[in-house]
Chain A
Amino acid sequence: MDRKELETTASLAMLQLHEDEVDTLTDAVTTMLDYFSLMEDVDISGLAPTTHAFIAQESVRDDIIAEVPEVEPKELLSRGPEHDEDHFIIPNVL
């Protein structure tokens, strides 16, 4: 992976990179991607992808309130960096 590709990918991941870490990260990611090429040796024809360890039957229940949430919304809000009574506050978007 070259530097430009790394920066594009980091940008997609909403990650600002600082100059002094770009080389180290490029090396680390490139080493892993090179190693991943080992997977090309495996014949995957006829194999379905496994998305989860076990595909359990669909987990459904009656559409009734089973449990009242133990945590008040205000309590959750209070753990964010900036908030008022009912909202998280973020910088202006306009």
Chain B
Amino acid sequence: MAIDTKWSEILNSSENKGAYIKEVQDLDDEIGAFLQFDPDLGAALTTGGSENSLKGLPFAVKDNIAVKDFNLTCGSKILETFSSPYSATAVKRLLEAGAIPVGKVNLDEFGMGSATTNSALRKTVNPWNPDRVPGGSSGGSAAAVAAGMVPFSLGSDTGGSVRQPANFCGVYGLKPTYGAVSRYGLVAYASSLECIGILSESVDMMERVYETIKGSDPKDQTSRDASGEIPDLHHETMTIGVLESTEGLDEEVAQAYEEAINQCKSLGWNILPVTIDSLNYVVPVYYTIAAAEASANLARYTGVRYGHRSAQSTDVQSMTRETREEGFGSEVKSRIILGTYVLRSGFQDQYYVRAQKIRTRIKMDLAEVYEKVDLLMMPVFPTQAFPATGDSLTPFQQKLADRYTITANLAGLPAMSVPTGVKNGLPVGVQFMAPEFCETHLFKAAKAYEAIYRPQRASKSLHLIQEVR
């Protein structure tokens, strides 16, 4: 493939490699995608690569996924000095396929946010427009791909954290079926919701990476291989469910959704309008469950085993309390408090257990929809990439805006965001959502769409690799 050849030319000659490193460093001074960029350290970890693998392809890794000897900061002061003693299973499988991790990329602290503005360590901007956010929480992963610094990257998606930044930066973003990719080596935030996902500049690249990293892993008890046969499409022609009503979308996003529906028709697909009543409840359900799980998972940061320890401490209690006070940012603290509250004796039934029961209803509603359609097509986020400053979207509004992405996480289903065009100088797109383990159907739809619209690279992107796909 042209893109593989180009990358191998760049990384196999020391002169080209030097030019690559220099150009990425210069470009990243403006974009701020990387928290650590060290292609030589990454190249030393790569263990192999046979034919049809990913040999020689560079990739970036969200800094909440472990790569041996690289930092693992989670965008947090509490882990700023921590480096990982081992690699995540997904990373290991990429190393075995010959791919090269060139660095770790920025994120909202512990994956909590929609704009990468909650990173305690660096500001990342959107390569399409430096006044706009790259999305989040995998903002660095999206920006690095959109700027052509890597052909793909790993992110994590707990409530849309791969698909939304991919959408904001005009690249493809896949959240796989829950359990399809091992979570071993992904720093835990909300364990029942989160997945390691992929951001890429083409559907072909996405598919190759997914095929490499998927599959059960003895180190993650929730990881699974697809059981039995992947269901066939209902009809020879694909049937796409679209939302009968989409409230609260910005004009450009609403237009893009309508245009995508027309494109699907032009591809010969059937369109079936659907209503999913439980969509109105996904946001409170998601934030109840995610905060509860976060409060438990983040209890491990006590200043004993990892990273930062407060210098103020005189005893174990104060060491723990002060370390957490100094190390966590305000969004993380608010979610820990919220999660602790909804799990408190006396409030559990009102919040946490109720949310889990409504989660069951959401899954049932979706199962009913998939009896009639092969894929659902939904907006990704109600706005395009929003301004980094000002009051365009408050933190609470950003949470409400997650309604289209978090459904896939609550139900454990695979979903992929697909760029469909550019409006007002910023990318727009849609997402397709499939029944469990039907990633192949997502790739099929995305490829058909790719033949109609091939995403462009961002205005700020690497000259070395321009015009090659």
Q: Let me know if B315 and A61 touch, CB within 8 A.
A: no
In the complex the two chains form, is A56's CB within 8 Å of B224's CB?
yes
B281 and A39 contacting across the interface, CB-CB below 8 Å: yes
- What sequence of 0s and 1s flags, for each residue 19-53 of chain A, a beta carbon within 8 Å of any chain B beta carbon? 00100110011011101101111101001111111
Which one of A12, A17, A28, A33 lies within 8 Å of B325 (CB-CB)?
A: A17
Task: Determine the main DSSP class of A at the interface with B.
Answer: loop
> Is the Cβ of A50 less than 8 Å from the Cβ of B337?
no
A34 CB, nearest partner CB in chain B, Å? 10
- Give Cα A92 to B314, complex, Å: 8
Known contacts: A25-B334, A38-B284, A81-B304. The answer to whether A9 contacts B192 by CB under 8 A is no
Cross-chain contact of A16 among B85, B291, B295, B321 (Cβ < 8 A): B321
Contact A81 B308 (CB under 8 A): yes
B306 sits at the interface (CB 8 A): yes
The closest CB in chain B to the CB of A52 belongs to B192
A74 to B441, alpha carbons, bound, how many Å? 46
Question: In the complex, which residue of chain A has the Cβ closest to the Cβ of B315?
Answer: A91
Dominant SS among interface residues on chain B: helix
State the Cβ distance, B135 to closest chain A Cβ, in Å.
21
Whether the pair B360, A14 counts as a contact (CB closer than 8 A) is no
Contact B85 A75 (CB under 8 A): yes
The interface stretch among B23-31, B102-110, B351-359 is B351-359
Tell whether A29 pairs with B341 under 8 Å between CB atoms, given A36-B284, A36-B288, A75-B85.
yes
Residues on the B chain within 8 Å of A6, using CB: 337
A67 CB, min distance to chain B CBs, angstroms = 7
Q: Judging by beta carbons under 8 Å apart, are B321 and A44 in contact?
A: no
Tell me if B325 and A15 are in contact (CB < 8 A).
Answer: yes
Does B4 sit at the interface, judged by CB under 8 A?
A: no
List B residues 375-416 near A (Cβ within 8 Å): 395-396, 399, 409-412
Contact A71–B337 (Cβ < 8 Å): no
- For chain B, residues 316 to 343, give those with C-beta under 8 angstroms from any C-beta of chain A: 316-322, 324-325, 328, 330, 333-334, 336-342
Given contacts A42-B361, A44-B358, contact A36 B316 (CB under 8 A): no
Chain B residues within 8 Å of A28, by CB: 330, 334, 395-396
Which residues of chain B have C-beta atoms less than 8 A from A50's C-beta? 356-357, 359-360, 363
A48 to B360 Cα, complex, angstroms: 7
Min C-beta distance of B322 to chain A, whole Å: 5
A68 on the B face (CB < 8 A)? no
Are A15's CB and B299's CB within 8 A? no
Taking CB atoms, residues of chain A closer than 8 Å to B278 are 42
- Are A15 and B324 in contact, CB atoms less than 8 angstroms apart? yes
Give the complex CA separation of A6 and B336 in angstroms: 11
User: What separation, in Å, do the CA atoms of A42 and B86 have in the docked complex?
Assistant: 45
| Interface status of A82 (Cβ within 8 A of chain B) | yes
**Distance from A91 Cβ to chain B, minimum over Cβ atoms (Å):** 5
Contact indicator per residue, chain A 66-94, by CB within 8 Å of chain B (1) or not (0): 11001100011001111000001011110
A24 to B394, CA, bound (A): 13
Q: How far is the CB of A86 from chain B (nearest CB, A)?
A: 14
- CA gap between A38 and B361 in the complex, in Å: 15
**Nearest Cβ on chain A to B251's Cβ, whole angstroms:** 26
Contact residues in A for B197 (Cβ distance below 8 Å): none
Report the nearest A residue to B307, measured CB to CB: A81
- Interface residues of chain B, those whose CB is within 8 Å of chain A, are 82-83, 85-86, 178-179, 192-193, 218, 221-222, 224, 278, 280-281, 283-285, 287-288, 291, 295, 299, 302-309, 313-322, 324-325, 328, 330, 333-334, 336-342, 344, 351, 353-361, 363, 395-396, 399, 409-412, 436
Chosen A-B contacts, 9 in total, with CB atoms closer than 8 Å, are: A10-B340, A13-B339, A14-B317, A16-B322, A36-B287, A49-B360, A56-B179, A79-B306, A93-B316
Given contacts A14-B321, A71-B86, A93-B315, 5 further A-B contacts (CB under 8 A): A25-B330, A39-B354, A49-B357, A53-B192, A81-B307
Interface residues of A (CB under 8 A from B): 1, 5-6, 9-10, 12-18, 21, 24-25, 28-29, 31-33, 35-36, 38-42, 44, 47-54, 56, 59, 61, 66-67, 70-71, 75-76, 79-82, 88, 90-93
